[in-house]
Structure 1
């Protein structure tokens, strides 16, 4: 702070300044022995207090006081004089001196320093208060201009720039302007200012707003520094914010009028409770929500303690948080467990110290918002995270579904829920897993077909949804169902998770959001299981192929060795003896080798699953096969029959069955082909196959010696496996062999 000491006696003035420097080390001491010098210092320096002698040649101390009061009416002025009398003291008090002190010895300098500190502190406080009042007055004036009447906004804004300089107590030469987008409002007799202060803002609609105040002529020199004070910028910014708010209010005035009633309803029915307690923990105030929540009136609760309202453990926890606020003087945010009507609820409480006018803590003010549902969701998310490993460790889709409904019940509290998985073969959503709650509500859950349920619609659309009233939905599956609301969570291409409740609108957007997370985890698990199953099947198929290749190589090596050895041996004998009969044996062996190569190649070609599925006329393919082989005088009888499969492999199957029938049944054998439920049969009138040999006839190399390779029925068996057919070998009505082929899948068969 800057102090000015005025005394015509230089020695005494130096003594006073020296003592004050010691007592007030942070102060800057200015001295003057003449009144004129004192006035110049007052105008040039930010003097916070004047200490003046009474008797001086130019003016006495009281006359200097009158001079100072003309320009600085509030500046502290202490009369420090060696001439003391009741008359001077009375005159000084009447003139408005801040304090009066006589020069009576060194101890008076201590008193003087103390009086200066008190005077300056009081002056600064009053100055800050006056500045705050000035700011509030300006803000109030602008606010009044903006909210008065319902006239055009242009008139209000023009009034703002007109009254702004005067409201801020700027000199008369000050001007102001307000720019809103491309529109400008200016004060009367506006000229572009030389020195100006401009602040900026943006409305909710994105319009740029600028407010300027300035002087049309330079009012300060370069040495004076900034023309405008930081607090003036802050005040102008506040006023611009008022203008921006006004513009936003005008833009949405119609909406605000419609929303005003709703806002009042929200405020009156807010779920946040507010309260004020004193330092002893007694209630001073509660809001409407508090009254409603605990069924009390403000008049009844004022003066009571938490233990008068809450259970002991709850009251103690609440009071412990209150004490922390009172002890630290700092705000506190904490979760509090409150019992309401016997239910435990979680509230997020923000508690702050309530201060009195002197800045002393006089209590605790709190706002508590219920977060019970949020905590529940957090716990659900934590539970879902824990459920992921369990879902991903499932080995089958059925296991995933079982674990999924358990997670939905235990984590999301979906007591009645089920998972339906899509069956591509039947085109249906089949119930795979469900809780006991589903059985209690509707019994066994149904299978859904295309277009006949809400579940199918949601499955096709792929978007999770909550149905508040299923009775009002056109796609309801069973109007007689006790279920009134449903939650549907698609599982991608795999199916859907459904939850039901007999209570209407029992599921909300939070249920949908959290449910989608669980559905995502289940979908991932189903994808993983399906992929792993496909990989296992592929691995099994590759192993089978490798095994068949090894078997094929073994068969080639084994079956060709004997005829090849015979051919080589006889060829050597021919070369040695020239016996041409040996060549007949060689030709027979080579023919045998050729037949074996043909049959083994066919076996290899028909040893994989067929990917061709098309309607095949069994009797037509059978006749084509009959024509392609040597049947001697045997006859074929067929009945119309159609199955689904690979026509080329059907041809090979019939060729080998027919060769077997003709080879074993003789020249006059009759072969019949006809339909069965789920397949077809081939039978002959030959000698048949003994029951003891029926388990072996499909093994590679099995033959009864009619000249076959022992591969034909093995080819038949492999083709049947490739089509997922079962083969039953039994007797025909005449005692011959009867082969019955029945599908193990849902492949279409029909008589035609």
Structure 2
């Protein structure tokens, strides 16, 4: 503890140690008598009080575990007379009332800046001086009892929910006059910018009256310049003679304090008398300070309420307040002008009414459910709702928040806005999305036109519309579909030709247009038409979607945007129909080609091979009857013809697309095919675990040709390996490989690097691969030879 004479030992309890240490530094700098010790919790504070002696306790209010009020009550149990200052950042009427009830000595709100520490140091020294000045326990007890009585009266007034703010003001001013022993109490509103001083409420004598006065002639000018309470008890002896306030009012005693928060000055609270008196005691000042705190919070609350009411009335959103009667009963307390304008219901129509009074049973039940959800969650909620006011049904987006007082939800504050247009637009977009699926399923332009006309009428609300598509034969835009109202307006839809109409202009430019007055447009087709406005939208380069109305300016931007979406879907559907037709043409051509290939294969297998067989047989008989050098040459020629016939037959039959497949074990089939290849000293290693979905015979044809190619080009001792890929397999060898600039050519018909080669082997391989939907490429193997990779192969297995 400090050894400074008359040292004042202070315990400061705050759960923020950095703030407590900073406050201690400033307080000790303000008055060298002050010796500050800190604690970070109420429990630690009580322990310190038990270990050391203190002259004063300062405590924060909002601390975890035990609040400052609870700490105050605990201190009062053991130290009923010890000065206790509640020094808090959370100021409110409720906190002030609780502090008064618990027996606080003083109440001070934390502010920004360092000036507050001068005020706090002054409060501490005054409290401790008063505490020490009371000579006897009986005297102090008497003062304390008196102070407690007034505190209880103050508490009863501020906590009385039946009293309005003006009633509370009057009673507190009267209580203050009585406690301070003066004739007058008054509340002042001050505008520093204009030096306006307005007494808005008085109690007692009219030595100070209600009304406006120049600030410079009042005691309040010095009150607002003071950091704390301004108190005067003998004005004439204390240098006030000659002061304009003293001259004007002649007040001998006066006590006043600023009413403000966060550097905002509201006004002052003042008590005054015409007679001098003894200096205001500490207890009197403490009581005045409690009054000042309540008036400050009251004015701040009213300021915020006025701001809220201003916002409430002038915001563009429809605002409403709901009184919560009980968990099932809710009544409308007030609505703003925007609510009246949007719903068509006046405040008088809805005030005090329940949802059941204003809405249908189903809508009211849904609304009540939302109110109950907000109460249950005790937090704001948002939702969309469909409500009917009068004869108008709209969609609303509503935000609802609970209004909580003393932990009870007393009201629900709501803000709602009309989202009908947005909701309908989203519904139209969804309907257009569904229409697009219907359009893509259409098989003819006529179906597309009919679906488009129906969607424009039902989804977009374009009652009089028609779809015109360009017709090559007629060289114009011909109507394929038309609504009944369109036919009623213009008769049978005309065919638009080049340069004679708004429709053709839009078709040529490819830009949608909403014509507000067709009769003012130079491209009007029929000047006598009853149509006043048109919406014309291009359907890609295929035609137009034409909409008409007997009303001028009937179409807006939204009609254009949604119409373009529909027209775009129609254009995509027409393009798909064209692509489908082209695919069908290709399929028919392919079928005819397959038929010709079948005929060719028949020629090869019968008409050509039969004579060849006869020639080979006759040659064998000839060789038995005579010996000639020519028979061997003839045999080689016939054998060559037979090989070419076999190859051409494979190509003809292998060009057909594979439809029927089976699961084939690639390793097993590879070994079987290897047996059909003259391999000499060549070797095969099938490192595959894959199964393949393929036509078994054609896959065997592919493998045999690849293996035969490796043997023919890689040499008698070539090593061949078959392995897995992630989506296929490969056949690789350690032969000379294929030069990079020849890798595309090896698959062409007739390409061969051998004089006796047919050039068909790898062509057959590629044909078989393509009929399965596979891709084949050739690259270099790890050993420098050729590596043929087949990908896009269906099946299962692992890659290597």
Please state which band the TM-score falls in when normalised by the shorter chain. 0.3 to 0.5
Give the TM-score normalised by structure 1.
Answer: 0.41
Give the TM-score normalised by structure 2.
Answer: 0.39
